């Protein structure tokens, strides 16, 4: 049994276990969480659970196999790509232009994520994700280089002084008068265990502010300020308005996606375009922009 202190406040359960049991394979860590062998306050928890001060974490005996353990490592090519994708850094934070198709965390079927690569690139820091992006979303991703900066940036997200702005290519012509989508969202699971989100009156409040950047008949480019940061928020809000995001294989329109594939779209057309950081002990007041991916530029020329 381990009692969580202020030093671990807000840390993900899986990251806490990775750091405490560095010699145990990550697949084993995920397995004992999934099977309920790890308990927090006598309850099952998911890997992404954020630890709270006073939590009682029960951990089963863990056997370490003899001999050196070879964990999958990010390739030199990927490390070089991510190093070139750093948009901003100081002694406290790093902002990366995350490529589409790269998961932020390791997990079932995923040997390593962006966070694992960043720990290789920044070995002398305690680098952690401040927020996350879906695997298929590109753009600005914020990391903290130490615990104090992590807690401070998470506070900025909660009080909405740190703003996240996105670009998306959506089906049809987004109405100029629709500048806000305020629909509550609720998580649910498919029979195969896959997590999804739907609009539900019993869900969490969610607000997206929208402006049309370029309107077309078949598809449009919109900008979205993510006021609340719910899972899949922009994707589900766009679906609810009848203007699904191009390339969305979870909430998208199948016929629209087929048409987009004919135009060369092979990804979710959602991009974290900028982060607006507030003045703090760890950051200046600054706006960091991630360039619009070339595929967006090419597609919009034909809108």
Catalytic residues: 134
Classify residue 166 as left (phi > 0), alpha (psi -120 to 50) or beta. Answer: beta
Q: Would you state the structure tokens that stand for residue 281, as one six-digit string?
A: 């002990």
Helix residue spans in 204-293 (DSSP H): 233-240, 254-262
Q: Would you state the structure tokens that stand for residue 2, as one six-digit string?
A: 């381990």
DSSP E strands in 37-161: the ranges are 39-40, 43-44, 56-58, 86-89, 93-98, 128-129, 138-144
Helix axes 26-34, 13-20, angle to 10 degrees: 130
- The secondary structure of residue 65, as a DSSP letter, is P
Q: Which residue has the tokens 């990010």?
A: 74
Around Cβ 64, how many Cβ atoms within 10 Å?
12
């Amino acid at each position: 049994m381990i009692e969580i202190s202020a030093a671990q406040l807000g840390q993900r359960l899986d990251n806490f276990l990775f750091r405490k049991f560095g010699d145990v394979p990550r697949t084993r860590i995920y397995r004992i969480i999934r099977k309920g062998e790890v308990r927090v306050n006598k309850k099952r928890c998911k890997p992404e659970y954020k630890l709270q001060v006073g939590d009682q974490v029960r951990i089963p005996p863990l056997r370490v196999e003899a001999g050196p353990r070879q964990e999958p490592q990010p390739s030199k090519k990927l490390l070089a790509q991510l190093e070139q994708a750093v948009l901003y850094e100081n002694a406290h934070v790093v902002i990366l232009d995350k490529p589409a198709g790269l998961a932020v965390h390791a997990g079932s079927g995923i040997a390593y994520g962006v966070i694992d690569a960043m720990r290789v690139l920044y070995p002398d820091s305690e680098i952690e994700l401040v927020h996350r992006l879906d695997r298929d979303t590109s753009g600005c991703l914020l990391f903290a280089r130490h615990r104090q900066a992590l807690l401070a940036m998470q506070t900025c997200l909660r009080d909405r002084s740190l703003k996240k702005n996105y670009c998306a290519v959506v089906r049809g012509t987004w109405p100029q008068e629709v500048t806000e989508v305020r629909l509550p969202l609720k998580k649910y699971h498919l029979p195969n265990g896959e997590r999804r989100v739907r609009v539900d009156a019993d869900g969490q409040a969610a607000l997206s502010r929208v402006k049309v950047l370029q309107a077309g008949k078949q598809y449009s480019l919109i900008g979205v300020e993510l006021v609340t940061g719910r899972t899949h928020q922009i994707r589900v809000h766009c679906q609810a308005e009848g203007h699904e995001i191009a390339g969305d294989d979870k909430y998208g329109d199948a016929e629209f996606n087929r048409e987009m594939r004919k135009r060369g779209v092979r990804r979710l057309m959602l991009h974290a375009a900028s982060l607006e950081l507030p003045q703090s002990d760890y950051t200046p007041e600054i706006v960091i922009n991630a360039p619009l991916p070339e595929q967006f530029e090419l597609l919009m020329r034909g809108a």
